[in-house]
């Protein structure tokens, strides 16, 4: 069995100061929510990160489940975890189970490009808000994000 590979510690993605304030949030306003995005596919991870940041969310990215778990342990509380189901090492289902146990107030949204893997999330409705199928649109992502956060807010 190969030894575990080191993984980079994810950093919070900085806002681009040249872009100016987000249209969803005035300059100096707190973020709408703090989100951790875990996906081993860089194009998907980057799309989700950019979309959420431009909509006023503070976003941290992780390239796999191990890096996401390290961020969850190390960083201040996250409001939402968006995780791919299929990732090397610690997959999204395992990550969601660990995250829900340690951070029960955090909303969880899963994404996958595999119909068979989507089936693995059935029975976890009490832990996760929704499973988005890839490819998804910007509108679908933002709507699912908003719905997951609203569902996790206490009345």
Query: How confident is the model over 95-129, as pLDDT tens digits?
Result: 999 999 999 999 999 999 876 665 565 666 667 78
Contacts of residue 69, Cβ cutoff 8 Å, sequence gap at least 6 = 90, 95, 98, 99
Q: How many CB atoms lie within 10 A of CB 126?
A: 6
- Asked if residues 48 and 80 have their Cβ atoms less than 8 Å apart, the reply is no
> Residue 9 pLDDT more than 80?
no
Query: How confident is the model over 76-95, as pLDDT tens digits?
Result: 799 999 999 999 989 999 99
**Cα separation, 35 vs 118, whole angstroms:** 22
Six-digit token string for 84: 């791919």
SS (H, E, C) 19-78: HCCCCCCCCCCCCCCEEEEECCCHHHHHHHHHHHHHCCCEEEEECCHHHHHHHHHHCCCC
30-152: which CATH number, 1.10.540.10, 3.40.50.2300, 1.10.3720.10, 3.30.450.80?
Answer: 3.40.50.2300
Over residues 25-31, mean pLDDT: 69
**Residue 131 DSSP SS3:** strand
């Amino acid at each position: 069995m190969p030894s575990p590979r080191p993984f980079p510690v994810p950093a919070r993605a900085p806002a681009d100061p040249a872009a100016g304030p987000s249209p969803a949030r005035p300059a100096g306003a707190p973020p709408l929510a703090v989100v951790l995005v875990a996906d081993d596919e860089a194009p998907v991870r980057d799309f989700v990160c950019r979309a959420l940041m431009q909509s006023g969310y503070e976003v941290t990215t992780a390239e796999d489940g191990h890096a996401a778990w390290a961020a969850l342990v190390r960083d201040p509380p996250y409001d939402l975890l968006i995780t791919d189901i299929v990732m090397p090492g610690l997959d999204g289902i395992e990550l969601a189970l660990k995250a829900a146990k340690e951070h029960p107030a955090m909303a969880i949204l899963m994404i996958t490009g595999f119909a068979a893997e989507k089936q693995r999330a059935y029975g976890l409705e009490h832990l996760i808000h929704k499973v988005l199928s890839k490819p998804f649109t910007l509108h679908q992502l933002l709507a699912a994000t908003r719905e997951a956060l609203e569902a996790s807010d206490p009345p």
